[in-house]
Amino acid sequence: MSNLLLDCTLRDGGYINNWDFGENAILDIINKLENSNVDIIEIGFLKKEEYKSNRTVYNKMQQISKQINPKKKNHLYAAMIEVVNPIPLEDLEPCSEKTVDIIRVIVWKRLLKEGFEYCKGIVEKGYKLCVQPARVDQYSYEEYRDMINLFNTLNPLAIYVVDSWGTQYREDILEYVKIADKYLRPEISIGYHGHNNLMQAFGIADAFLHYDTQRNKIIDASIAGIGRGAGNLNTELWAKYINEKHDNIYNLLPIVEIYEKYIKSLQEKYIWGYSQSYFLTAKYGCNPNYGNYYTEKGISLSKINEILQNLSDEDKIMFSKEKANNYLSKDY
């Protein structure tokens, strides 16, 4: 049984700076992540939009291939695709020694059939597939079981438990892990991707690590927790923990160097990580973009609380500035 660390700094971290890390920085971050010995390096998003060499958003696999070749042994390389904005499968180069090894697909519950068909095409192209069901808490246990059984037929590398909005506690996540462990084919791994709205990412990852199973596990993290909303599990904290409590396999210095050279300046300019506004979005189970938007506008926490508790079920999920402003103008 293997426990793998996936670093998603260049992908999830891109929500903070619009994926604009800079061309040279991208190459250096990849190189340093290789030197840190993290198991899986996520390079960025594959999306149907204009490509710019300074961003980790790509519309063709060849653009990624230029940044990862020659690939280093003992590493896997990944890219992510959202089923709501995918690149056409006919534009996706078949998997080879020059491409990423893994494609992770964010699957929305309301687009489950479309997501399955797209994932089927990914597998047919020869890629290892990771299925990322967004906001796992929106699935009943029966629905999650059915989703597992559906994607079982594709024999993916892994199916994830994704706490997109950081609303779950360890016992909540482990219930989904138990279902996945029970119904997945034996060779399929389970992954965990969490956010820190309730400061639970590390504790849940630890509980997941020690969950008794014969399956491989994949745990996502990013340097300094950089990522959407309250951010992710910290790569440096998790790597240190694994080194001291389990196997001394990760080199922490390159991770610290990435932070000092590239992430620290972002942290001085942008906001991510735990905050009271993100706590409130988790409290009401709504899109964390509301917390970020209202905070940037200088809205008081009491007003944010008042607005969030009055969001409709639909508006909790789908954020827009227009919606946020409409709620802001109401007198409750």
Return the DSSP state at 261. Answer: I
- Helix, strand or coil, per DSSP, at residue 299: coil
Q: What CA–CA distance (Å, rounded) separates 237 from 222?
A: 10
For 82, 118, 312, the CA distances from 124, given in Å and listed in that order, are 18, 10, 40
Report the predicted TM-score, pTM, of the whole model to 2 decimal places.
Answer: 0.95
Q: What CA–CA distance (Å, rounded) separates 176 from 160?
A: 9
Residues of the chain by 3-state class (helix, strand, coil), percent to 5:
45, 15, 35
100 contacts: CB under 8 Å, gap ≥ 6: 43, 61, 64, 68, 77, 78, 79, 127
Return the DSSP state at 86. Answer: P
**What pLDDT was estimated at residue 88?**
95
Q: What CA–CA distance (Å, rounded) separates 307 from 284?
A: 10
User: Is the bond preceding residue 86 a cis peptide, omega within 30 degrees?
Assistant: no
**What pLDDT was estimated at residue 165?**
94
Q: What CA–CA distance (Å, rounded) separates 132 from 163?
A: 10
**What pLDDT was estimated at residue 248?**
83
pLDDT in 10s for each residue of the chain, 332 residues: 799 999 999 999 999 999 999 999 999 999 999 999 999 999 999 999 999 999 999 999 999 999 999 999 999 999 999 999 899 999 999 999 999 999 999 999 999 999 999 999 999 999 999 999 999 999 999 999 999 999 999 999 999 999 999 999 999 999 999 999 999 999 999 999 999 999 999 999 999 999 999 999 999 999 999 999 899 999 999 999 999 998 889 999 999 999 999 999 999 899 899 999 999 999 999 999 999 999 999 999 999 999 999 999 999 999 999 999 999 998 77
**What pLDDT was estimated at residue 246?**
87
**What pLDDT was estimated at residue 253?**
98
Q: What CA–CA distance (Å, rounded) separates 222 from 56?
A: 15
First to last CA, the chain: 54
DSSP H or E stretch at residue 230: none
Q: What CA–CA distance (Å, rounded) separates 42 from 218?
A: 13
Q: Name the token pair of 217.
A: 């596990």
- pLDDT tens digits for 53-80? 999 999 999 999 999 999 999 999 999 9
- Helix, strand or coil, per DSSP, at residue 122: helix
- Helix, strand or coil, per DSSP, at residue 271: coil
- Helix, strand or coil, per DSSP, at residue 104: strand
- pLDDT tens digits for 14-33? 999 999 999 999 999 999 99
Q: Quickly tell me which residue has 């020659």 as its tokens.
A: 70
Q: Closest Cα partner for 135 from 108, 157, 159, 116?
A: 108
Return the DSSP state at 80. Answer: E
